């Protein structure tokens, strides 16, 4: 049974999501604030996290930053903020997905299922060995020039796909539908931001630009 952690200060919303997901056969635990949420995630290591932004004391974006220091578990951010820039900033900080309040519970369920599909199953991790020049992926851990580098689950899924097919040019539609496993709806901000995150992490350890933008088409390994 997959485990989900909800970090949400609104009791009614937290209970509503919890009840709904339990009925969908998930194991659910929750926290009313960021500090307790971080400790809960460290303790139980859930399969996915649902994170509210407007939290007391420790804001959701700071919770996200702390989560990314010890886990690449998928994080779905939920917020009343609707600005595109807010979404881009959160994706840059390591969020895997973003929903605005109010939201439909079945849409949330669909996004949970899509994010869980992107996570590499534990049964496959031991068999995953990929290498391309200075980048090596061993059991879902990424090494660049021998240094272990933390990637989110979505970033890792994109990088694995590129390394598996080093000669292939992925259109944005092809890339989106391969990773998100849903119909492409011209969501360039999401794709561009995740690609930018991957490039920045690689650039910290090597001067080589490993991901090439094929203008008008998409991306490929360089």
Provide the whole-model pTM.
0.71
- The neighbour count for residue 206, using CB atoms within 10 Å, is 14
Q: Report pLDDT for 176.
A: 83
Closest by CA to 52, choosing from 113, 24, 11, 88, is 11
Classify residue 58 as exposed, middle or buried by CB count within 10 Å of its CB (0-12, 13-18, 19+). middle
Measured CA to CA, the distance from residue 158 to residue 176 in angstroms comes to 9
Closest by CA to 197, choosing from 145, 157, 146, 137, is 157
Phi then psi dihedrals of residue 109, to 5 deg: -60, -45
Measured CA to CA, the distance from residue 29 to residue 37 in angstroms comes to 10
Concatenated DSSP letters of 15-63: HHHHHHHHHTT-EEEEESSHHHHHHHHHHH--SEEEEES--SSS-HHHH
How do the pLDDT tens digits run along the chain, 222 residues long?
899 999 999 999 999 999 999 999 999 999 999 999 999 999 999 999 999 988 988 989 899 999 998 888 899 999 876 665 677 888 888 898 888 888 899 999 988 988 887 765 544 445 678 999 999 998 888 999 999 998 888 899 899 999 999 889 998 888 888 887 777 766 667 888 899 999 999 999 998 889 999 888 889 988
Q: Report pLDDT for 202.
A: 93
């Amino acid at each position: 049974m997959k485990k989900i952690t909800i970090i949400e200060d609104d009791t009614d919303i937290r209970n509503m999501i919890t009840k709904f997901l339990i009925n969908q056969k998930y194991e659910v635990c929750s926290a009313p604030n960021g500090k307790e949420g971080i400790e809960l995630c460290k303790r139980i290591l859930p399969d996915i996290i649902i994170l509210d932004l407007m939290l007391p004391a420790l804001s959701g974006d700071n919770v996200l930053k702390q989560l990314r220091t010890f886990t690449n578990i998928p994080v779905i951010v939920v917020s009343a903020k609707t600005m595109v820039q807010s979404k881009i900033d959160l994706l840059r900080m390591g969020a895997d997905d973003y929903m605005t309040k109010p939201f439909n519970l079945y849409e949330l369920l669909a996004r949970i299922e899509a994010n869980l599909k992107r996570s590499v199953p534990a049964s496959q991790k031991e068999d995953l060995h990929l290498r391309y020049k200075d980048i090596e992926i061993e059991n879902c851990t990424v090494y660049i020039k021998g240094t272990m580098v933390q990637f989110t689950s979505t970033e890792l899924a994109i990088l694995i796909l590129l390394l598996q097919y080093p000669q292939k040019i992925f259109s944005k539609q092809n890339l989106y539908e391969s990773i998100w496993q849903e119909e492409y709806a011209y969501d360039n901000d999401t794709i561009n931001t995740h690609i930018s995150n991957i490039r920045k992490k690689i650039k910290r350890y090597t001067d080589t630009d490993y991901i090439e933008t094929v203008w008008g088409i998409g991306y490929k390994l360089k």
